[in-house]
Structure 1
């Protein structure tokens, strides 16, 4: 499931020091105060000191309070939580009416969470707990969700779920829709082990949510068994808030079961320059096949070498041998050759993306496209409330292509690319970063102004201020040059987002210290729970791993799983497969991945579950 509204979302780490971000709770409406209280209020000044001066100049204490709350909410909307916090700190809670104190608590808690600090929000809620219990239920529910987000930020995902489920009946319809989706998002973040443990210790609606998520997320379950289990769930949980989701899931699963292939032909290069890639994919496929075979019926697999030039002959041979599903080929050109044949005799899942929108209705595509990662980062930036982004990418066609994918998605979502620069790896990276940030121009302007005044001017160089974050495309070696250069040129506080390219996949704390603070997307197989049964099987079979091919191994796992789930993804838009390479969904006959988030901390890549917490605004009162 995706969010229904694009508000200010952030990334919340399970670790106290990780970066975070937020999505909205409550109605998500802009902060408003009664008209008679807001008349004469201008937009919040850019300068915090000017804002304070204007507030202090107001004639009455009531107007000063109203202006402080309104401008604090506005600063939160502008992603200026530190300024919001300072304004709110100017108010004495004891001097506020009960209504104003509710607004002050809500805004103060949101300001704390927006600064990746859950503890002050929890402390605030605890301090006023007795008073909060006297608030109207709608206000209590908003503060309950604030607590739920604080708990999630502290890594207490089960506790956060309990809070959300308990608050759900008290919410209005719009809030329930939002909370419903956020409960599901949290459930998707739990590991299989956490889900199983939580089910054993839970009851009521929470247990219903957990068991449904466990059923839904099982990527190796037999489809017939999954249908039966869904029927049983529906019978047991007739009044559950999630009951409306089940009929569509049941119908799609039944249809998917009837479309299961019995013989899968796998076209991979076992000769030629891509044979190592083909070998790794094959190992991933076989790992998933043997794991599923232990639990359910599985198809017969036949492998064919797609290395030879005549891919159509190989494809036809697979059909002649009885294949009712074809997995592959890997090469873009060979996949395009098959797609150009028009209607295909069997469903075909190519392991790459081709450069055309006109494909047969039973031709699908799956791969590890970095462009998808770039688009996901763009969407995340919008959810965080960002408007302006910079792009820094390596010179060459590949870097330009990924940068262009980000820019197009960002601009389609009404974002602005304020600056875009290509860099060459080496000693010139520092100069490119300085140029990107306009540091030299800032210093020059300061010196020019100082020539025409006898005042002592602050001419310390500054970076440009028209970037909410930087989208960086870089491998680990390049990133270790770029991030220190950003820090040196006064951009240490500039958020930096990157693709999975930034992480080698192997822990290297000493070298990766220079990447600290960079947030990036990557597949669950790399940054997720490493204690799963599948990880254990992989470690036993290949104790040395697959090195730089590790992500391709994960792709092989998902490629195999897709052969039985492709119909489901294609016919039920809300369905997804929790895969090793990401959360897989179908869009225009292409399997697209939603990856997990991570951040470099102390030279280590730390997973960052994406969860929700309060947004930038108060609900209309």
Structure 2
């Protein structure tokens, strides 16, 4: 797989502002193209070769052009961009009328973006720029959205944002719904510094979007202050496209402010085998607490040792001391013991996930579940149009659990697991990789065929072709054995996706050369902007960092932030908190994380731009969902 194609990672097209209460508008019906309006036009054949043969047999040039455009459009809706590209390539754009050339440009650009390749779309739009400027404004606006998608795929997020904001007034209602949600996706992906710089240098509607995003994206801002700032924003931007969203945001923030805790009890192990974990979480909590105190009112914190066996007595003591919010405990068993008590006297956020499906209505769970990461990989693969995946995971209950989480989600998304193998670290990894790829069988078939012919035969061994990508569950040491084995056994082009386990969190270019090409999910604290104010505070307080516990430190930061935002996440299903461990949302009283993507390149873990799936771009969207704030 071409590296540039592999480089760009798609986000879900269902992104919503944290304070959003607007019901997402479905855009599952594609915009109608004129070519689809021809009476009696047959559906596209299942086989591309049959389609091309039938088109070649059509003597009437105009009918052939209309049919080609219609079938290419149909293939795009079926997530078959390569076939659409082949059909469109059979047309000579210089012989097309102005109207049909517009359709050809639009569909050709979409076919390129659907294959995660922005360059052809950008070049196409540049080539016909003078002609495009003569198109009706509605057609220009549709091509503007195509250009915006291409810019985002190239990592030019601010340029894409500017393009979308400029085109927005020219779009129809359906396209505006889609574009509204996409504007928010881009705003959420800008780094804090990019957002601040853009706000200072922008004007018009773009400034309105940017300033509203800044208001929202402050995770430690005082809720009362945010309400006041929203009121001010509404007064200033009365005619802004986002103005209809603000009343719902205000109501939600006011409710959250009235429900915030005044005293938080924190139950962490300060003794026993988990005391180092508890200490790291506490340091993260205190970092976030002191930062908030500099900007707004903060609750009183009281710490309790959850190490002793009688966790219910510790919990009751916290309640007796006046706690109206309990953060912890960390142990699954102890969290389950508290949940089993029925309705609790204070809202409780356990720092782990328990097995029980029935929990009190004021009991919530938050943790760093690798299963969530595996599910996100499955969702990403589906958004990219993949249908077949392989899994390679370490032997043991933990590896099986993570692999099963991917498999379950992948199959729910109508994907197929073509092969699944467990491994142990050591010399046998190479053999397992060879077996997984069916290289020996390929070599044997080639030799068998060559026995019956005197012709020169290409009997070069090949890997199996029924895997669109491989899910690798591995730590860095294991990954450094697996990826070279994949390369050696003719699978260098096979996309490999992994969880955050693959990255130690510390730069080691010399050793991590063997991980080059692996894409993985990880938290913003690890692979995001390392120059944020909070990173600077953490570096001052803990100059040596926290080593292998760094992700737990980030979890402590988010655990503290959740105490004031939990009500908002729970009452508004579309709400989201931009956290250190990911973008946090609530699902069935569990806080789940949406992580960022990175790739190993030249031994370094590099953050990837995050854009929407170009296959869902307008005007043809087979399963996209617009999510306006």
Normalising by structure 1, we get a TM-score of: 0.91
Q: 2:48 aligns with which of 35, 45, 57?
A: 45
Secondary structure at 1:548 match in 2: helix
Q: Go from structure 1 to structure 2 and tell me whether the alpha carbon gap of 1:72 and 1:476 turns closer, same or farther (over 3 Å shift).
A: farther
- Is the CA contact (8 Å cut-off) linking 2:469 and 2:497 kept in structure 1? yes
Q: Aligned pair 1:483/2:483, yes or no?
A: yes
Name the counterpart of 1:462: 462
Work out the CA distance in 2 between the residues paired with 1:96 and 1:182. 32
Please tell me whether residue 498 in structure 1 is matched to residue 498 in structure 2.
Answer: yes
1:357-396 map, 5 Å: 357-396=357-396
Q: Deviations over 1:382-407 (max 9, x none)?
A: 22222222111111100100111111
SS at match of 1:615: helix
Q: Residue in 2 aligned with 1:292?
A: 292
CA apart distance, 1:23 = 7.6
1:183 lines up with 2:183 in the alignment: yes
Deviation track 1:99-120 (CA, whole Å, cap 9, x = no partner) reads 2322332233334445554344
Give yes or no for contact 2:105–2:124 (8 Å, CA) kept in 1: yes
Does residue 167 of structure 2 align to residue 164 of structure 1? no
- 1:135 CA drift (Å): 2.1
CA, structure 1 residues 438+37, in 2 after alignment: closer, same or farther (shift >3 Å)? farther
Output the CA distance in 1 between the equivalents of 2:483 and 2:55: 39
Looking at structure 2, the residues matched to 161 and 326 of structure 1 have their Cα atoms a distance apart, in angstroms, of 41
- Structure 1 residues 297 and 543, CA, compared in 2 at 3 Å: closer, same or farther? same
Alignment of 1:223-238 (within 5 A): 223-238=223-238
Conserved in 1, the CA contact under 8 Å of 2:199 and 2:207? Answer: yes
Q: 1:351 to 1:368 in 2, by over 3 A?
A: same
State the superposition RMSD in angstroms. 2.8
The answer to whether the Cα contact below 8 Å between 1:71 and 1:84 also exists between their aligned partners in 2 is yes
CA contact (8 A) 1:249 1:572 kept: no
1:589-600 matched pairs, under 5 angstroms: 589-600=589-600
**Would you say the 8 A contact 1:516–1:600 is kept in 2?**
yes
| Residues 48 and 83 in structure 2, CA contact (< 8 A), matched pair in contact too | no
Tell me the distance in 2 between the aligned counterparts of 1:40 and 1:532. 54
Structure 2 unaligned residues grouped into runs of 5+: 14-26, 622-629
- Going from structure 1 to structure 2, the CA distance change for 1:37 and 1:165 (only over 3 Å counts) comes to farther
Find out whether 1:18 has 2:7 as its counterpart.
yes
- SS of 1:294's equivalent in the other structure is helix
Distance 1:453 1:64, change over 3 A: farther
Alignment of 1:250-261 (within 5 A): 250-261=250-261
Q: How many residues align?
A: 607
Q: Which residue matches 1:327?
A: 327
2:474 aligned partner = 474
Measured in 2, the distance between the counterparts of 1:182 and 1:197 equals 20
Query: Structure 2: how far apart are the matches of 1:511 and 1:423?
Result: 21
Q: Which residue of 2 aligns with 1:7?
A: none
SS of 1:611's partner is strand
Q: CA contact under 8 A between 1:29 and 1:620: conserved in structure 2?
A: yes
Task: Name the residue aligned to 2:262.
Answer: 262
- The Cα shift of 1:567 comes to 0.8
1:192 Cα offset (Å): 1.7
Q: Distance in 1 between matches of 2:9 and 2:325?
A: 43
| Deviation per residue, 1:57-85 (Å, 9 max, x gap) | 65454455456556655666677766765
Distance 1:23 1:277, change over 3 A: closer
1:17 offset after TM fit, Å?
8.6
| 1:16, distance to aligned residue in structure 2 (A) | 9.9
Structure 1 residues 605, 64: closer, same or farther in 2, change over 3 A? farther
397-406 or 65-74, larger mean C-alpha shift: 65-74
Which structure 2 residues correspond to residues 68-467 of structure 1 after superposition, within 5 A? 69=69, 88-114=88-114, 116-453=116-453, 455-467=455-467
Of residues 360-369 and 109-118 in structure 1, the stretch that sits farther from structure 2 once superposed is 109-118
Alpha-carbon separation, structure 2, partners of 1:405 and 1:255: 35
| Gapped regions of structure 1 (runs ≥ 5) | 1-9
- Residues 123/199 of structure 1: CA separation in 2 closer, same or farther (3 Å cut): same
The CA distance in 1 between the partners of 2:457 and 2:275, in whole Å, is 64
Distance 1:33 1:603 in 2: 49
